[in-house]
Structure 1
Amino acid sequence: MKTLVIATKNQGKFLEFKKMLQPAKFSIISLHEFPDIDIKETGSTFDENALIKATTVCQKIGLPTLADDSGLQVDILNGEPGVFTARYAGEHATDKENIEKLLKNLSGVPLDKRQAQFVCSLALVFPDGKTFLEQGTLEGLIALSPRGTGGFGYDPVFLVPEINKTFAELSANEKNNISHRAKAVEKIKKHLFKHMQEEEVENRRIE
């Protein structure tokens, strides 16, 4: 295995994955290398969408592919925005527009009633058909207003109560130590590295 494709065109997300997968004995590329690939996320769950993305890209490119479907679930909004996290305010909504809609829908709700979870489903698909699926979650609260300048997406309003900081107030290293994505990556890495070892053994046998 020489190359792993991260099935995203989101540069912030790609850089997070690249950092969390280090040290890697393979190159890591994103869908920026394949601009013609368009994926329709038709699943009703994070798991389904992650599998759709990873399987589609792996079949089209013929390389091992890692795909995630991550999102925000707010308890008092019955799990919204859920699988519509990235397009909560519309198909081509900006992060700012999505946050504004979320805060509007939570208007008047006190902080202690704004429980939420960040969820990350990760699918790893190999050209030989082997498929692995893992999930990571992080509990938090939706802040009353945006705080911080880092991160992307809903990071400015996702508050981690234990440290009283939003994701956007954390450094990249701090975020990667606790995030839903980091938890899912730690689980999927076991499958990734095991497959690499098996591949190395098979290659030596053939030689």
Structure 2
Amino acid sequence: MLKVKIISGTVDPLYDISNAARMCTNTQDKNDIRTRESFVRARIRNGEENLLEHAYVQLEISGISRSCLQQLVRHRFHVVYSVQSQRYVDQSNAEFVVPLSLRGTTMESQFLAFCGVALDNYKKLLERGVKKEDARYLLPEATCTKAIITYNFRGLRHLIRMRACPKAQWEIRNLAQEILRVVADKYGTDFFAEGLEVSNTANTKGLL
């Protein structure tokens, strides 16, 4: 099942971003959270997204497919990835993400059966002494993976802009929406998504 967990991050991103912005103009912080958030949102609307680089968040993400991962790592803007390696980690107990269009249909069980055949053959190769780095070539794109990802808030905003929008593919859209929800819950604000078109239709049924 898709899971996003915050490992660490800037304690008070609004304060750090606001403080940096006000230093530029030598203005005083009013020490009011609502005023501070309004000020930061105004800076973002004004195109001053570079200020978001003063704050960061580190996430642990699990339950996404390797297919989703390939979309995710295309975003190299203010982000660092560490991904669980299929070369070194035994995938014999792998789980699979079922495409949304197949869930609840007669094809769902067939899809999982096909994945199961690939996994069985993977394990047979390991039993015959084939290295994990070679046996992994049999694994489907649906195979689940996990990663630790560090975004500064500008990189986070870029991800939300590109992948939480209605036009994004369903799995990475669900991931981007969940990241937005988790980070916004942590800090009590979604200021970093100011002005972005974010889809409000999600399907996070997870693994079947």
TM-score using structure 2 length: 0.24
Higher share of residues assigned helix: 2
Higher share of residues assigned strand: 1
Where relative contact order (Cα < 8 A, 6+ residues apart) is larger, the structure is: 2
Q: Which has the larger radius of gyration?
A: 2
